[in-house]
Homo-oligomer: A and B are copies of this chain.
Amino acid sequence: MNIAKTPSPPYYAVIFTCIRTEPDEGYQRMSEYMMELAQYQEGFLGVESAREEIGITVSYWKDLKAIDNWKQHAAHQNAQEKGKNVWYESYTIRIAKVEAIREFDK
A30 at the interface (CB under 8 A from B): no
Oligomeric state, in copies:
2
Closest Cβ neighbor of A1 among chain B residues: B53
Number of interface residues of A (CB under 8 A): 41
A92 at the interface (CB under 8 A from B): yes
Residues of B within 8 A of A92 (CB): 3-4, 101-104
Contact of A50 among B3, B4, B51, B102 (CB under 8 A): B51
Given contacts A84-B106, A88-B106, 5 further A-B contacts (CB under 8 A): A9-B94, A48-B56, A49-B52, A50-B55, A95-B98
Contact of A13 among B4, B15, B54 (CB under 8 A): B15
